[in-house]
Amino acid sequence: MTARADRIAKLKEIAKQRVLILDGSWGVMIQKRKLDEADYRGDRFVHHNGQLKGNNDLLCLTRPDIVTELHDAYYGAGADISETNTFSATSIAQADYELEEAVRDINLAGARLAREAADRWTAKEPHKPRFVAGSIGPLNKMLSMSSDVNDPGARSVTFDQVYEAYREQMIALHEGGVDLFLIETITDTMNCKAAIKAIMDLEDEGYEPLPIWISGTITDRSGRTLSGQTVEAFWNSVKHAKPFAVGLNCALGAELMRPHIAELSRVAETLVSAYPNAGLPNAFGEYDEEPHQTGHELHEWAEQGLVNILGGCCGTTPDHIAHVAKAVEGMAPRRIPERPKAMRLAGLEPFELA
């Protein structure tokens, strides 16, 4: 058994015993640093055309000290799993900065920084091993929706282009040492399917298999993803991947996310994760929900047996994660339901044929 396979086995065993804790927001913590253009450019990109400020993934190469400090802050707050700082590190997303050629290096560096931090914390606290999730975020282009209001069939990318962009990212994350792939903040299920296929093809090519974690986003009170699917339809669309976990994150605070997590908990035959925002943003785009409020809300979810993994998204900080970890300490994880066999399909709505 490889060292990584041993870590994955430990992760799965711990998941049977208690609620796992994911880290919180990276964007809000980086914003607090008030970095300038020079921080993003470093030495390597000092002469690069265009503004780079705001390209947080690039900090894996230009300010690795900050990335390491944030991993340490979240592991120190009680997180079992920390994500790589690679949310937008695909060639499609990085094209906005004309940095397609840096994608592999960003992902390799992001994975290695997270791996080093996780290993250091595991050595310090062997009773609480730490794990790394390779963050694979949404794209700024969608396969399910038209890019031209006057042409319903228009698309700005093809399935093959999305597949190749994710494949490049995943290979670098894998080589950098992540323990699992986290396809997160999914607004377009077709994009997600391209990412799933890329992972499955890596396994067919001899890469060590890694668990897949899939996290969708309900964009508003409609209870649907941006591409129009209900929670159950979304699950039916991705369950063929046999994911380690499926869940929801972003867009909503805990109060508004709860009914959708309850629905996913009812139908998903795997672990269920949730990492909501710190409430909804105020008029200034900031998040007002205090850490103890988040902890109290997510404690109730665990108490009601809805979740297996908890963390935070936009607006959450290490203090939020510390409160969540404390609030669910010692609590049993959700029991995975056994559903009767049936043909379950999905378009925008679920369809079941017993």
Is 250 within any annotated ligand binding site?
yes
Residue 79's identity, in one-letter code, is A
Q: What gap in Å lies between CA 275 and CA 252, rounded to an integer? A: 9
Q: Using the 8-state DSSP alphabet, how is residue 350 labeled?
A: E
Of the candidates 227, 223, 217, 159, the residue with the CA atom closest to the CA atom of residue 193: 159
Residue 80's identity, in one-letter code, is D
Residue 27 main-chain phi, psi, to 5 deg: -60, -45
CB burial string 197-224: b at 16+ within 10 A, e below? bbbeebeeeeeeebbbbbbbbbbeeeeb
Is 192 within any annotated ligand binding site?
no
Q: What gap in Å lies between CA 281 and CA 274, rounded to an integer? A: 18
Look up tokens 């929801």; give the residue. 248
Residue 351's identity, in one-letter code, is F
* Strand-strand pairing, 131-136 and 81-83: parallel
Q: Which helix (H) or strand (E) holds 112?
A: helix 103-124
Q: How far is CA 274 from CA 52, 53, 162, 195, in A?
A: 31, 30, 26, 20
Backbone φ/ψ region at 116: left (φ over 0), alpha (ψ -120 to 50), beta: alpha
Binding residues for Zn(2+): 250, 313-314
Binding residues: 250, 313-314
